[in-house]
A and B are shown apart, each in its own frame.
Chain A
Amino acid sequence: MEEPIPETSSELLFGAVAAIAAFLIISILLGFLMRKKAKNFEEWLVGHGDIGPVVTGFALVASYLSGWAIFGNAGLGYAYGWSGSWLIGTTSIMGMALCLVIGYRMRRYVALGARTVPEMLKVRFESRLVQALAGIAMIVLLLVYSVGQYKAMATVWTITTNTSFYGSLIATAFLVLIYLAVGGYTGTQWVSCFQGILLTVIGWTLGIAALLWAGGPARIAESIGMQNYTAPGGNQTPIPLKDYVLPLSPPKGLAFPGVDWIGVTATIFMFLFMATGFPHNIARFLGTRKISKREYWIFLLILVLGGLTPLWIGVVGFAARTVWGDALMAETYYPMYGDSAAVYASIGAGGFPLASLFAACVFAASVATLAGMVMIMATNITRDLVHNAFPEASPRKLLLLTKLMLVPFIAIPLYWTFTSPPPILSEFMSGSAVAQAGIFFFVVGVSMYWKRATKWGATATIIYGLIITVLHPKAYGPSVGLYHWGCWALLLMFGSALTYFLVSLITTPVSEEKLQRMFPKK
């Protein structure tokens, strides 16, 4: 006899609201304290360049762990069993370690005047075109990423407060507005560091509690080994969940990354590249101070602790599948389906205290990330496009425009989630992640080390990456016969690499004299 799925209580509602409020207050206080120390806008963006490895490390963890990792991973484990592991990101630490060893060189560009990732590209390639294109690419890809954040927070709000999903979406949009209005968006390294610690501690606690609640690892493995895949909506299939690939029926099933070993290979490379490719991740190094060899190891230790958190959230999904079977895939749970597993499991495994803390955790991961992304997109418009085209534009007008741009960037993903919420949010967000990995790993990460990279190589890579992004198997891919997620992702990442290196090699880099500033001789 399966356990009944827990119901919402007034205790839980109160606990969740109190935990979210506490998180907001702490974040605002931290943001306010750090903002007071910044003398101007530029200093506010990157601080004083004096942030150490502990704060930067946890800030990196916070920016990496979005609604996907801290919430959606449970949905993956729940819906797809072991084959969900590929998107859960069991190898996340590999990519985070690469980001650590590559990203540190961002400091060099801060010294040369860069304050954002597109500005770093302007400095590297002496090109406003690359800056503007990178800004546009970031807007497109972050809009998709924002949809997942909306779904994560709205699902938590729906279950903990018993409001409708659509009402919860509106509430999420309001929470983002409040977060932005009161200054939480400042996203200083200190606020992010606090969020990173919170996400790590709660993620580990919930994962371990869920493991025990479901009867231990052996019982979970046995239960998953006996179950079959159920599609969102409740349609049961004879495809077993026991393996690390889930051969869903073509052509629709091919859009799932874990459908075969080609898809699996693509996810491994996606996780290798994406931590460096996420512009909001690599930007964490803009405010870092000089780090010693010993501190590098401390940094890695923090990334290991934070990088294991997504795996613990995946465990929550496996545990929920063990306890409730495929019940959450039924039509009754539209549009949350398996994504609701994390919230219900947090109630089941830890009662209202853990569920309340988890709600604050998802708030931290999704709303704060959403607010951060909205700010990035708005500044992409003003700093990388408008100011880039009209350098004489007054700072006052640019600031006003930035504030105005917040509205469409909150509204567009809200409308998207309202009209077509993705059934499994992490699967949806992985589309944007592949594009960010494929484009920015090379254009930003490799360009910091490869002197021969050119602005035309970077430009061609961004354009190529955006075109292939549109051909995602769940977007326009089927119109050109591209149904397979793995093939699409490999085409995007390795096609971007090929474009970047080939075009760079046949075009002229910036002059040796200018390169000297970025690549000083030892």
Chain B
Amino acid sequence: MEMQKVKENAEMNKAYIIMVLMALCVILVPLIAYSVGGWYAYWGHALLAIIFGILAVLLRTRYYWEEE
């Protein structure tokens, strides 16, 4: 029982880490524009958005999956 709870807590911690990474992707958008600029910022934003999307789907499919 105790082991199960520890395991669940560890899983949820991983989910929180993913959420923090998603927030980081958003925060980095203006920072890249300010510090790098030009094409690197333009396509860098797209790359951050793709990473954000991957993390969102990972969160959904691994930690918040809904069986019907």
Return B6 CB to nearest CB of chain A, in Å: 21
Chain A proximity mask over B45-63: 1 for CB below 8 Å, otherwise 0: 1101110111011011100
Which of B29, B37, B39, B60 lies in contact with A268, CB distance below 8 A? B29
Q: How far is A204 from B51 in the complex, measured between Cα atoms in Å?
A: 20
Residues of B within 8 A of A308 (CB): 46
Tell whether A290 is near chain B: CB-to-CB under 8 Å. yes
Which of B33, B57, B66 lies in contact with A264, CB distance below 8 A? B33
Q: How far is A141 from B58 in the complex, measured between Cα atoms in Å?
A: 33
Q: Are B52 and A101 in contact (CB under 8 A)?
A: no
Closest to A243 in B: B37
Q: Are A303 and B53 in contact (CB under 8 A)?
A: yes
Q: Tell whether A304 pairs with B56 under 8 Å between CB atoms, given A85-B42, A90-B45, A243-B37.
A: no
- Stretch from A292-300, A352-360, A474-482 that touches the partner: A292-300
Q: Are A300 and B54 in contact (CB under 8 A)?
A: yes
Q: How far is A243 from B56 in the complex, measured between Cα atoms in Å?
A: 30
Q: Tell whether A244 pairs with B37 under 8 Å between CB atoms, given A90-B45, A90-B46.
A: yes
Tell whether A265 is near chain B: CB-to-CB under 8 Å. yes
Which of A82, A93, A94, A304 lies in contact with B38, CB distance below 8 A? A82
Q: How far is A297 from B60 in the complex, measured between Cα atoms in Å?
A: 11
Q: Are A92 and B49 in contact (CB under 8 A)?
A: yes
Tell whether A221 is near chain B: CB-to-CB under 8 Å. yes
Q: How far is A96 from B29 in the complex, measured between Cα atoms in Å?
A: 16
Q: Tell whether A300 pairs with B33 under 8 Å between CB atoms, given A91-B48, A92-B49, A268-B26.
A: no
Q: Are A100 and B56 in contact (CB under 8 A)?
A: yes
Residues of A within 8 A of B37 (CB): 82, 242-244
Return A153 CB to nearest CB of chain B, in Å: 27
Return B29 CB to nearest CB of chain A, in Å: 6
Return B35 CB to nearest CB of chain A, in Å: 10
Count A-side interface residues using an 8 Å CB cutoff: 37
Which of A82, A105, A265, A297 lies in contact with B57, CB distance below 8 A? A297
Q: Are A272 and B46 in contact (CB under 8 A)?
A: no
Residues of B within 8 A of A100 (CB): 53, 56-57
Q: Which residues of A, 293-330, contact B by the 8 Å Cβ criterion?
A: 293, 296-297, 299-300, 303-304, 307-308, 311, 314
Q: How far is A272 from B56 in the complex, measured between Cα atoms in Å?
A: 12
Q: How far is A208 from B65 in the complex, measured between Cα atoms in Å?
A: 38
Q: Are A290 and B68 in contact (CB under 8 A)?
A: yes
* Residue with the greatest number of chain A CB neighbours at <10 A, chosen from B25, B46, B48, B54: B46
Return B11 CB to nearest CB of chain A, in Å: 15
Residues of A within 8 A of B67 (CB): 522
Q: Are A91 and B33 in contact (CB under 8 A)?
A: no
Tell whether A261 is near chain B: CB-to-CB under 8 Å. yes
* Residue with the greatest number of chain B CB neighbours at <10 A, chosen from A92, A94, A304: A94
| Nearest 5 interchain pairs by C-beta | A97-B53, A90-B45, A93-B49, A244-B33, A101-B60
- Given A101-B57, A243-B37, 11 more A-B residue pairs with CB atoms under 8 Å apart are A82-B33, A85-B45, A90-B46, A91-B52, A93-B49, A93-B53, A96-B53, A100-B56, A244-B30, A244-B33, A300-B53
